[in-house]
Amino acid sequence: MTPSETVLSALAAQAIELPSWAFGNSGTRFKVFGQPGTARTPYEKVADAATVHRYTGLAPRVSLHVPWDRVDDYAALSAHAADEGVAIGAVNSNLFQDDDYRLGSLTHPDPLVRRKAIAHHAECVEVMRATGSTDLKLWLPDGTNYAGQDDIRARQDRLAESLSEIYALLDPHMRLLLEYKFFEPYFYATDVPDWGTSLLHCLALGDRAHVVLDTGHHAPNTNIEFIVVQLLRAGRLGAFDFNSRNYADDDLIVGAADPFQLFRIMNEIVGNGALTGAGVNFMLDQCHNIEPKIQGQIRSVLNVQEATARALLVDRAALRRAQTAGDVLGAHQVLVDAYATDVRPLLAEFREARGLAADPFAAYRASGHDQHLAATRVGGEQASWGA
């Protein structure tokens, strides 16, 4: 393949998984602003995800969330997805919405609460079997608000035990993906606050436990691409939750806050051969509190695609030469040259060759689909982040 063919072939293989909850209402603790046309059921959420894929060709899967996406017949949901042209991806468990989880779920001092939280994953595994999903994704919101509130060490021990029970529920082809988060919804000590903690638990569990890196879940100033490399080196980068942030876990559109960071992340993915075939599930996890949701998801996957295209354009031979020569600015400039490239023409051509609009974002906005949904999705209750 010519270099350009390599780029196009890599782009053609790229897949980004969408979260069903991006299509329901979401907001801050202060306010959830409803939007007309917002999906009301798991079926409508899947349909919206499929719309994103139809316009972009980038989003062939949609993650479910239990209980938010509970339906009577998961096979029917799965078939609906297939009809729409997408597949069910990871199944996400929920450990933060039950009243029993006020002081923790898998780490709770009370074994009955832990048992309940573990049992919830049995349901998730059933959903996985019914939908063909292979990734059980687990974000542990557990933590404490005050020093002394609970024993940090004991909580780790309980967590290890709970996780091993959940791991045992998996079928042999299934993976457990464990997400870490610096803080929130608790504000003193988070039980899985960093990649080190998540990785230690994954190593203890076994080969099919992998770490989820959510780009919004780090301390200020953290170098995220370094963590990407560490997890790839350890063979345990299971998935990304893409989004972007300026302050905390802001859940903004990926690439909107710091596009150079997204480029650097994708550069490590490409440079370490992990764009495809390395077991990394590239997922979005975002809110669209004030912007239209389908537009927001389209913009997001396009941002990841643009960053990827730039990363694919890095002249790796020149980069290595400059690095080996200790040419600090020369090596940096090789990266920057790729980043400065306007990849929109290349991508427009690539898309049109695949029967897509040259600018899917503009095309969707011009399509009237948002207006159509607002006019037709009348009555019922809009799906929400919390329901």
Between residue 91 and residue 130, which ones bind a copy of itself under the rule CB under 8 A? 96-97, 99, 101-103, 109-110
- The CA dihedral of 380, 385, 386, 387, to the nearest 10 degrees, is 30
Binding span for a copy of itself by CB under 8 A among 85-93, 125-133, 196-204, 276-284: 196-204
**309 scored as a contact of a copy of itself (CB under 8 A):** no
Q: Which is nearer to a copy of itself, 27 or 132 (CB)?
A: 27
What residues from 206 to 245 belong to the interface with a copy of itself (CB under 8 A)? 218-223, 225-226, 229-230, 232-234, 245
**145 scored as a contact of a copy of itself (CB under 8 A):** yes
Q: What DSSP string runs through 19-60? A: EGGGGSB-B-SS-B---TT---SHHHHHHHHHHHHHHHS---
Is beta strand 17-19 parallel, antiparallel or unpaired with respect to 87-92?
A: unpaired
Minimum Å gap between C-beta 78 and a copy of itself is 28
Q: Which is nearer to a copy of itself, 70 or 102 (CB)?
A: 102
**37 scored as a contact of a copy of itself (CB under 8 A):** no
Q: What DSSP string runs through 258-325? A: -HHHHHHHHHHHHHTT-SSSSS-EEEE----SSS-HHHHHHHHHHHHHHHHHHHHTS-HHHHHHHHHT
- Residue at 367: amino acid letter: S
Binding span for a copy of itself by CB under 8 A among 10-18, 57-65, 125-133, 295-303: 295-303
Binding span for a copy of itself by CB under 8 A among 63-71, 162-170, 286-294, 369-377: 286-294
Among 10, 66, 71, 257, binds a copy of itself (CB under 8 A): 257
Beta strand extents in the chain (DSSP E only)? 17-19, 61-65, 87-92, 135-139, 143-144, 175-179, 189-190, 209-214, 237-242, 281-284
Q: Tokens in use for 200? A: 């230690």
**331 scored as a contact of a copy of itself (CB under 8 A):** yes
Q: Which is nearer to a copy of itself, 340 or 378 (CB)?
A: 340
**57 scored as a contact of a copy of itself (CB under 8 A):** no
